[in-house]
Amino acid sequence: MQRRTLSILFLCLAGLFGGLFFYYIRSVFVPFGLAIIMAYIIYPLVRSLENRGVDRTKSILTVYAAGLIIAGIFFGFFVPALYQELKSFASIIPVYIETWTREQSFFDKLLTRTYLPPEAYQILKETIGDLRSSVFEGMRSFAQMLIEGLYLLPSFLLALFLAYYIIRDFDHLKKKFLAFLPPNLRSDLVFLLREGDQIFSRFLRGHLLISLIVGFLTGIGAALLKIPFAILIGIFTAIADLIPVFGPVLAAIPVVGFALSISTWKGVLMLGIFLLVQQIEGSLLTPRLLGERVGLHPLATVFVLLVGGFLAGPLGLIFAVPAAGLLKVIVGFIWEKLI
């Protein structure tokens, strides 16, 4: 009994120190995490080429070559323009701050001439101040996110090599993983993994592609209307579209508002472009690329999004729905086993 207690205590201490050690070197796992995501997205393309008689190694290299060509086009044509837009965007932020301050002082004078109760006046003033802070905080966060993306470039390059070996040795790794599972639980765990794969594959492969198309179409529309920062508008719309339900609205409000600040007709046309792109997404892209939904009621979807945003911020908003779908499968599976 004493020996068993010491063994349990040793395992707990080893698990504690192991957890602290892995937390201390957590940045090392970033390229491995990126590699797993890359392999998960690329693997169906490799399997498709293999089904046509192409060797796995050649299939991986073919997919990589196609990706490099697309990346070359992106970096050759879009990155220089994106850099210029970021410089211009950074230069006009002080102008917008000065304009906002001037308009707020005018609005404060207007409010003092109205016969509002002091409490209502204070609430309106605080609301306008909070709105201003939220807008500029959003701008700052978006710019910071783009800069942090550049810091991930070395990890991204390393992840390309790691993803190559993951895909190449996937069958061997799969056998090792299945052999590691307890025999009495193997079939149940495999079932849950397959269900999770169906949910997250629709999200990662389908929803990501849809968001890229939506961002591209919106950016093209902004460029045709000659609205400044068309590339930034496309990137922002693509990222916001990853958030179910609320994403299109979160993207449309600042973009249409910015277009309205240029001219009324450009704002109206930009709103029309958003509505048209959403129609294309809902009636054409989503049925073809996503297929069946996760199976959550709209009210449950809104609740899950609010919980995800509260717990994990923007990432929680993006991954809340597929995580809830997976949790629904697990709970249903356990319920069937117990009942």
pLDDT of residue 65: 92
Q: What is the average pLDDT across 246-260?
A: 82
Answer yes or no: are the C-beta atoms of 274 and 247 closer than 8 Å: no
Q: What is the average pLDDT across 309-338?
A: 76
Which of residues 8 and 199 earns the better pLDDT score? 199
Using pLDDT thresholds of 50, 70 and 90, give the confidence band for residue 2: low
Q: What is the average pLDDT across 199-207?
A: 74
Q: Where are the domains of the chain?
A: 185-339
- Per-residue pLDDT tens over the stretch 206-224: 778 888 889 999 999 998 9
User: Taking 80 as the threshold, does the pLDDT of residue 313 lie above it?
Assistant: no
Q: What is the average pLDDT across 213-237?
A: 88
User: Taking 60 as the threshold, does the pLDDT of residue 274 lie above it?
Assistant: yes
DSSP letter, residue 181: S
Report the alpha-carbon distance of residue 62 to residue 71 in Å, rounded: 14
- Per-residue pLDDT tens over the stretch 92-114: 666 666 655 665 666 666 666 66
Q: What is the average pLDDT across 318-336?
A: 79
pLDDT of residue 294: 56
pLDDT of residue 101: 61
Please give the helix or strand (H or E) that residue 247 lies within, else none: helix 247-262
User: Taking 80 as the threshold, does the pLDDT of residue 46 lie above it?
Assistant: yes
Report the alpha-carbon distance of residue 286 to residue 289 in Å, rounded: 5
pLDDT of residue 218: 92
Q: What is the average pLDDT across 68-77?
A: 80
Q: How far is CA 61 from CA 36, 46, 112, 167, in A?
A: 17, 9, 68, 11
Whole-structure pTM value: 0.64
Using pLDDT thresholds of 50, 70 and 90, give the confidence band for residue 153: confident
